[in-house]
Chain A
Amino acid sequence: MKFSIYRYNPEKDDKPYMQDYEVELQHSDRMLLDAILRIKAMDDSLGLRKSCREGVCGSDGMNINGKNGLACITPLKDLKEPVILRPLPGLPVIRDLIVDMSQFFKQYHSIKPYLVNDNPPPQKERLQSPEDREELNGLYECVLCACCSTSCPSFWWNPDKFVGPAALLQAYRFIADTRDDATSERLDNLEDPYRLFRCHTIMNCADVCPKGLNPTEAIGKIKEQMVKRMV
């Protein structure tokens, strides 16, 4: 199978280039990550992140034939050759397919991604109805792979000012949690021409999410809550 992979090592390359590889696959190679590891066995200098190899840790996000995804759950049979692999767009490249995710995590941290409830907790669990718990479905499952935020033109242009789809999805995860008491502060934190309102519902985020989540919908719900509290 033929691949064309983005290469850049700041210690020796003046600028990035694409390197072609051809690799013989084995019967057991099902996913893109399997093929990349065959390439890495031939060329140990190829840099990428990887860990769980089942789509739950979010390490191996990359741009695959023009679309962001996780290599470990992208079936090889669906890919057109040569398979073109690039680092996630919009973030500084450290080396090869490895990007600097500092800005992405900075935005995640900026939404206060933890439950806020200053009442003393009961001796047992806080109660929550199954219906209220269901509101968190489609939100808490995010693996922070950054496929969504790095496919969003608004995030490319203003990664320091626009929170981005991944972190906004998490902002809504806490707004939607009946156990969280900080909705008003959370909305204040996002009421800004950039932080939330740079989302122009282009919907690339929902289109690429490897976990099938829909950040655009969550962003819409945050906007609704803002409108609601104004009237």
Chain B
Amino acid sequence: MALSRQIFDTVIVGGGGSGLRAALQLAEAGHHVAVFSKVFPTRSHTVAAQGGIGASLGNMQEDHWLWHMYDTIKGSDYLGDQDAIEFMCRKAAEVVYELEHFGMPFDRNPDGTIYQRPFGGHSQNFGERPVQRACAAADRTGHAMLHTLYQRNVRAHCQFFVEWMALDLIRDYEGVVVGIVALEMETGEVVIFQAKSTILATGGAGRIYHSSTNAFINTGDGLGMAARAGVPLEDMEFWQFHPTGVAGAGVLITEGVRGEGGILLNSEGERFMERYAPTMKDLASRDVVSRGIDQEIKEGRGVGPEKDHVLLKLDHLGAEVINKRLPGIREIALKFANVDPIREPIPVVPTCHYQMGGIPTNYYGQVVAPRGALGSSEVIPGLYAIGECACVSVHGANRLGTNSLLDLLVFGKSAGDHLCQWLKSNPQHRDLPHDAADRSMERLSRLDSAQSGENITEVAQAMRRTVQHHAGVFRTGPLLREGVEKIREVAQRARNTAIKDKSRVFNTARIEALELENLVIVAEATLVAAEARTESRGAQAREDFKDRDDKNWLKHSLWYLEGSRLDYKPVNLQPLTVESFEPKVRVY
């Protein structure tokens, strides 16, 4: 049966912050653009971001984009590419002001300017003291930003395909990406979308972990699509553990709590971060704070009957500050931890939160991959990736809080701008290859025909437990090696799943089976890359290799699905206009 086909200038897979920002740029320029989303766009995971958007507006104290750049590079443990980091930090004020002009309900200072709060790892004058750089809308910044961007897209008459799941990229015989194959959830229909360019903006895959702040939809669909199409995944060993997920529930408690003055306490009531980070204390960067907490727990100073978490105390901020600046946190603490933070501390534990790695791109959002034996990176024509699914790399081995929302805005806009130019010089659609939909149809027909096989829920659980146990905050060689073996077994099982429900209309079992195929790809990339990297850097903490090893490991990993093979490429230490920040010992 021939599939129906639709044609666009650009298709964007994902309707979160970066996808919407790119869509806006293209739609306002009059391009024929379609945004695909598994959920209504305002339900995308950007909605859950709480604390703020990093930008050196200097509304509270003196600030400078160069200081922001330094903090980001240091935060990345020198694995971030300095050209992209300069690009992002210089553009930050512009994209935040634009968002304000779009209607974003930022909190305000008495002089009417945007309110900014302190956040982890952000400092004045190259690490001297904390600075207020996070532009905030209470503790619902992501919600306010996502709705504002959606609203602006409504104004621009952008076309949305809501509750559609993209299945695979289409690459022609020269390797050019010429569109996607997508599934409409409501009808089960599969359609080919031919496009001059495709942007992947599918977010992270934090659901590979058992304990995660991520939404159910964060299943790494764009990463799976890219990997199946032969594109490598970069730096997948680096996963951020947010220091403060609600113990037991995993729900995020923003770093903004500590920005507003909240502190972490162990079972002895000690403010232990003073020992791990004498200057920045509770506002050190996230990898440092998460390791601090895990160390306290390992040494028996955890709280609770199982001594398995610590406490986040904020009652000393007073009811007024909590109700005004952190109302959503109070709501979450009451609902998920059964405590009122105006009176009691919140039980918290490091929880998987953010994927630093992803699809390799340059700062225009173009996907780049090594070509030939020379190892030089070349652009994959027609393919862009932005937001958490991309690895520019501005976050390196550890992302600073507030830089994720900034990343979405800067690189969403940058990709949109670049495409507006690119479409001028590439006005024609290329022909679709004859096998355009074959891979997707094979995946679907396997699920439709399998009468017996592995249960989706059980395989997903095995995957999450494996990643959680073998690639957690602290890692060791033997643990990782065992993890690689186990995850390969899980990947094998994921290829043999069966769903009982074969119906077409809104078949969520089928969607979950397809998502699981993407998740296990990400999980395998994570374990393989983590096992190979015999050093500690940022979020990768190896107990058997405790130090950073710049001589051997100041490089990005690239994992290929075919053969589960690793390759590497150098870190770009050369910024655009300023002098390079040479790697040095990281102290907070």
Residues of A within 8 A of B (CB): 9-12, 28, 30, 40-41, 44-59, 73, 75, 94-96, 98, 101, 105, 109, 112-115, 117, 121, 123-130, 132-133, 136, 140-141, 143-144, 174, 177, 179-180
Contacts and interface: CB of A to CB of B under 8 A. Distances in A.
Given A9-B505, A109-B154, A52 B105 contact: no
B343 interface: no
Nearest to A50: B216
A53 B335 CA distance: 12
Contacts of A12: 503
Contacts of A46: 508
A59 B43 contact: yes
B40 A73 contact: no
B506 interface: yes
Given A57-B215, A109-B154, 18 more contacts: A28-B248, A44-B456, A44-B500, A50-B216, A52-B215, A57-B42, A95-B505, A114-B152, A114-B154, A121-B97, A121-B101, A125-B100, A125-B101, A126-B100, A128-B108, A130-B107, A132-B108, A143-B143
A121 to B, nearest CB: 4
A9 B331 CA distance: 36
B102 A115 contact: yes
Interface in B97-154: 97, 100-103, 105-114, 137, 140, 143-144, 147, 151-152, 154
A128 B42 contact: no
A30 B505 contact: no
B45 interface: yes
12 contacts: A47-B506, A52-B215, A53-B216, A54-B336, A55-B331, A58-B43, A94-B506, A115-B103, A130-B107, A133-B107, A144-B40, A144-B42
B48 interface: yes
Contacts of A45: 500-501, 503, 509
Given A115-B102, A126-B101, A56 B143 contact: yes
B108 A133 contact: yes
A174 B151 CA distance: 11
A59 B41 CA distance: 11
A140 B105 contact: yes
Contact of A11 (B97, B110, B144, B503): B503
Nearest to A124: B97
Do most interface residues of chain A lie in helix, strand or loop, or is the interface mixed? loop
Contacts of A141: 140, 143
Nearest to B98: A121
Contact of B109 (A11, A117, A130): A130
Most buried by B among A53, A125, A126: A125
Give the interface size bracket for B toward A.
Answer: 35 or more
B503 A130 contact: no
Contacts of A28: 248
Interface string B310-347: 00000000000000000010011001100000000000
A182 to B, nearest CB: 11
Contacts of A174: 103
B136 to A, nearest CB: 12
B335 A73 contact: yes
Contacts of A47: 506-508
A52 B108 contact: no
A130 B215 contact: no
B45 A51 contact: yes
Contacts of B274: none
A177 B103 contact: yes
A49 B110 CA distance: 42
B48 A52 contact: yes
Interface in B161-178: none
Given A30-B249, A125-B114, A129-B108, A98 B335 contact: no
Nearest to B509: A44
Contact of B48 (A30, A56, A177): A56
Nearest to B144: A140
Contact of B112 (A10, A51, A127): A127
Nearest to B38: A51
A132 B106 CA distance: 11
B503 A52 contact: no
Return the 4 tightest CB-CB contacts between A and B, nearest first: A115-B103, A127-B112, A44-B509, A114-B151
B429 interface: no
A10 B186 CA distance: 11
Contacts of A59: 39-40, 43
Given A9-B503, A41-B457, A127 B43 contact: no
Contacts of B102: 114-115
Contacts of A73: 335
B151 A49 contact: no
B141 to A, nearest CB: 11
Given A9-B503, A44-B500, A94-B186, A179 B103 contact: yes
B56 to A, nearest CB: 13
B523 interface: no
B111 A127 contact: yes
A52 B43 contact: yes
A52 B47 contact: yes
Contacts of B60: none
A75 B338 CA distance: 11
A112 B113 CA distance: 26
Contacts of A9: 503, 505
A55 B215 contact: no
Contacts of B108: 127-130, 132-133
Contacts of A75: 335
A72 to B, nearest CB: 9
A52 B215 CA distance: 4
A40 B103 CA distance: 40
B499 interface: yes
Contacts of A44: 456-457, 499-501, 508-509, 512
